[in-house]
Chain A
Amino acid sequence: MDPTTQDEQTAADQPVAECTRPTTSGTRQLPPATGRTAEEIRAQRAARNARVSSTVVTLGIVSLLTDISSESVAAILPLYLTTALGMTTLAYGFVDGLMQGASALVRIAGGWAADRGDHPKWVAFAGYGLSALTRAGLLLTTGFVAITSLVAIDRVGKGLRTSPRDAMIAASSNPKNLGRSFGVHRMLDTVGAAVGPLLAFVVLWLLPDGYHTVFVISFGCAVIGLAVLGLMVPDLRPRQASWLGAHQTRSERKLPSCKGCTCSDGAVPTLTERPFSWRFVTEPALRRVLIVAGVLALLTVGDGFVYLSLQARDGFATTWFPLLYVGTNIAYMLLAIPVGRLADRVGRAKVFVAAHAMLAGAYACAAVGGASATTTIAALALLGAFYAGTDGVLAAVVGQRAAPAVRASAIGTAQTVVAVARMAASSAFGVLWYTLGRQPAIVWVGVLLTLALPVCWFALRGIDRPGPAVLTSDEVAPAR
């Protein structure tokens, strides 16, 4: 046996030694949750409360460090460009536009590469590595073109790593507490997003021209994050694991029978011959999820407008305007785990749709007359709840429905659908904003969103039942 393969598989905790050992997807073999006995219910509750996989926590720490790195730079980049480098106002707008556009489409590519090669860890590593390199680049350059390119490359890195990472979270979690696993990851991730800007501002407070100090700290955090990912996260092989889970005997694995052999003696066969297929997009349940997520995203106009609307009437929101997004992040951070648990208990698709009611609530706060500090804080809390109930929960819904062999692509596709639809929504809303005025525009979108909610709720019923994962993984296994 090839020693490298052996090492990787041991590190990846793969079921090569015993055929019957539950694989990462093996827990799917639990009986479906219908007609449950008291014992089954207890077992399910135990599964929900079971510890979150250490891989998920490690990935959360990687995200935390990377988010400190990227958010600290993002928070001071406008100041750096305009104050220290003296760039023009419109130049900054260009940088900002690049930031938004670059990451959306790479996500599908990242997911595809992760599924195709069956090494999501190394695709994610490439994404994190690319972003880390841009931090080093910021230290070396002051040119406008160079900085805009670095910003774009950073976004490409973010796009690349997101879906492989989410697929790894799905692959290493118990399906029963998938929502909580994503919640734990997103909580850690958001801690980084809240700490990053504050850290950067403290550095600039103490060292007024300390932009390079922020970049050095940011680079350091990115390198440590990359090292944690490279050294501590197992090289999960979701496709291989699902194949091994579905083929439990030596004969099923097309290995010659021999006396006294365990079922995995001898190389795992034909690992390179897993055909990857985009057919998951036509799977009716997944398609429903994608359509509903897309429709709801089309009615999600971007926090910026909510903040602007609050700022137009409330002195509190004006003073803190540059930091309102930190408030949203703090709410998201606090709510990620509780909402993930709730999603595991009552159904992830239900929570996903219901979270958009929180968004409608935030719109209402932004639209009501006589805004005050209370409405502003309520709006931030509602936005935080909206993110807690959508970002990780959507990945959990898709990760649970999609077959392991196409999971990263499916998650990447869902995230791209949402990102592109939200971008379209924001530009369209911009038109509405000026033609109707701020308040009517927000009210309109809020009403449309409220009308869409029951329809989406109805469209997603039944999605939370376990998907045909084992069957599908059979489908993509070699036919031979």
Chain B
Amino acid sequence: MRRLPPRALALVGIVTAVVVGVGGYVWWAARAHQAASGAAPSVASTSLESVLAGPHILFRNTLPGAQYGLVAAVPLADPTGARAFTDVACDRLYHAGDYTSCLRTVRGVATTFEADLLDSHWQSVQTWPLPGIPSRTRLSDDGTLVATTAFVTGHSYAQIGFSTETKIHGTDGTDLGDLESWTFLVDGTPFTTADRNFWGVSFIDDDTFYVSAASQSAGKTWIATGKISTRTISTLREGGECPSVSPDRSKVAYKKVQRVQDGQKVWAYAVLDVGSGTETLYPVTEGCDDQIEWLDDTTILYGMPRADEPATTDLWSLDIATPGAEPQLFIEGAWSPSVVRSGS
């Protein structure tokens, strides 16, 4: 038999080594995943009905295991206690009135993204497609309006750059459209510059809401207020992203770039007193990317990724009424909290 030339032999050697190495890693990763998803939940679990009957917190469970990514609930009175699992998977969720808004990644050979509106029995009422990775969702208190934000992604070498799409729907099926087509007023004057982005709606009532606005060409972000009846968005304050209004509507919490250090933004959570216009900053040590939720009128909740464990996140709480209070670990392995103050 003719011997292969040395170069071909070397290539065969390299290809074999790579295939064995990559194959081994994939096998190991698949086994690790199988072991994790076969394992029982690492926290005590309880029945869903009993938790949902009283005041509770809904969230996305991010503890590794079979329940990873599923919507879970804990009683408001005992957030670290046994959690109840639904069989609904969401990347971001929110609950108000009779509805839960659930944004999810539909995995498959062709991965797509969708918004799913669920009724109180976790049955899908409406779905609509999203143009990219889910970002934010909120419902108005009585559950008549739902806002969704998604990144516009998908084109690998996208020539359009960063962009989000924020839409408001009525839970009765009406489509109030894309906020980008609404009138946008910066300090009272119409904004004509090319790029504008809106994300992170937080409803005040069934007509008005807070939202973050940005323009890359202007290099600015704003906290803005929107009015559905006039289809207008007006800036309120410069700086800040992802507003969230407190249950008593007296305060708005958002994240804000405190300063830029070594080219990296140092974030803080900010709370604005709507009546007096005073803004208080609460420094956080790591990067934060969550829309704040209010536990009550003086405590905010937010998710943080674990630095050493990608894909696992924790919920933290911060008492904003006590000066110098430190953030407390609130619920382990959780994301996208939604506080439901009255049970069903």
Q: Which residues of A contact B (CB under 8 A)?
A: 71, 74-75, 78-79, 82-94, 96-97, 99-100, 142, 144-145, 193, 197-198, 201-202, 204-213, 216-217, 219-220, 223-224, 227-228, 231-232, 301-305, 307-308, 311-312, 315, 318-326, 422-423, 426, 430-431, 433-435
Contacts and interface: CB of A to CB of B under 8 A. Distances in A.
Nearest to B152: A308
12 contacts: A75-B156, A83-B105, A208-B69, A209-B68, A216-B26, A217-B26, A223-B18, A302-B160, A305-B159, A315-B129, A325-B155, A435-B194
Contacts of B216: 93
Given A322-B153, A434-B196, A213 B25 contact: yes
Interface in B235-282: 241, 263-265, 267
A415 to B, nearest CB: 14
A379 B91 CA distance: 32
Contacts of B64: 209
Contact of A324 (B69, B155, B221): B155
A322 B164 contact: no
A205 B108 contact: yes
A322 B108 contact: no
B194 A97 contact: no
Given A209-B310, A303-B155, A231 B7 contact: yes
Contacts of A433: 194
Given A325-B154, A430-B195, A435-B192, A85 B310 contact: yes
Interface centre among B21, B158, B287 (most CB of A within 10 A): B158
B133 interface: yes
Contact of A227 (B15, B113, B196): B15
A322 B132 contact: yes
A304 B132 CA distance: 13
A305 B154 CA distance: 13
B88 interface: no
Contacts of B214: 90
A322 B154 contact: yes
Complex A-B, nearest 4 residue pairs according to Cβ-Cβ distance, in ascending order: A93-B162, A322-B154, A302-B159, A86-B305
B110 A201 contact: yes
Contact of A434 (B153, B161, B194): B194
B135 interface: yes
B29 A207 contact: yes
Contact of B7 (A92, A219, A232, A435): A232
Given A208-B107, A315-B129, A304 B158 contact: yes
Given A90-B162, A211-B310, A201 B109 contact: yes
Interface string B1-45: 000000110110011001101100110011001000000000000
Contact of A78 (B29, B33, B133, B290): B133
A301 B109 CA distance: 29
Given A88-B287, A96-B158, A321 B132 contact: yes
B229 interface: no
Contacts of A99: 157
Given A88-B288, A91-B287, 16 more contacts: A86-B313, A88-B287, A93-B163, A96-B158, A96-B161, A100-B158, A201-B108, A202-B109, A205-B108, A207-B29, A216-B25, A227-B18, A307-B154, A323-B110, A323-B154, A430-B194
A266 B129 CA distance: 71
A84 B62 CA distance: 11
Contacts of A326: 110
Contacts of A324: 154-155
A11 to B, nearest CB: 8
Given A201-B111, A324-B155, A144 B264 contact: yes
Given A82-B151, A217-B22, A434-B196, A210 B112 contact: no
Contact of B159 (A204, A318, A423): A423
B311 interface: yes
B131 A318 contact: yes
Contacts of B192: 434-435
Interface of B: 7-8, 10-11, 14-15, 18-19, 21-22, 25-26, 29-30, 33, 64, 68-69, 91, 105, 107-113, 128-129, 131-133, 135, 151-164, 178, 192-196, 199, 214, 216, 221, 241, 263-265, 267, 287-290, 303-305, 307, 310-311, 313
**Most B-side CB within 10 Å, residue of A86, A88, A197, A205:** A86
Given A74-B156, A216-B26, A232-B7, A205 B151 contact: no
A422 B157 CA distance: 13
Contacts of A212: 29
A227 B29 contact: no
A206 B37 CA distance: 12
Nearest to B212: A89
Nearest to A95: B162
B111 A205 contact: yes
Nearest to A433: B194
Nearest to A226: B14
B29 A86 contact: no
B162 A96 contact: yes
B186 to A, nearest CB: 14
B132 A71 contact: no
A307 B155 contact: yes
A319 B29 contact: no
A201 B14 contact: no
A410 B65 CA distance: 55
Contact of B153 (A78, A84, A87): A78
A145 B131 CA distance: 27
Given A320-B110, A322-B111, A89 B105 contact: no
B131 A311 contact: yes
A232 B11 contact: yes
Contact of B14 (A78, A223, A318, A325): A223
Nearest to B32: A207
B271 to A, nearest CB: 19
A342 to B, nearest CB: 26
B38 to A, nearest CB: 14
Nearest to A329: B156
Contacts of B18: 220, 223-224, 227
Contacts of B221: 90
A216 B22 contact: yes
A208 B68 contact: yes
B26 A213 contact: yes
Contacts of A85: 305, 310
Nearest to A434: B194
Contacts of A302: 159-160
Contact of A89 (B11, B129, B164): B164
Contacts of B151: 78, 82, 89, 92
Nearest to B192: A435
A94 B264 CA distance: 12
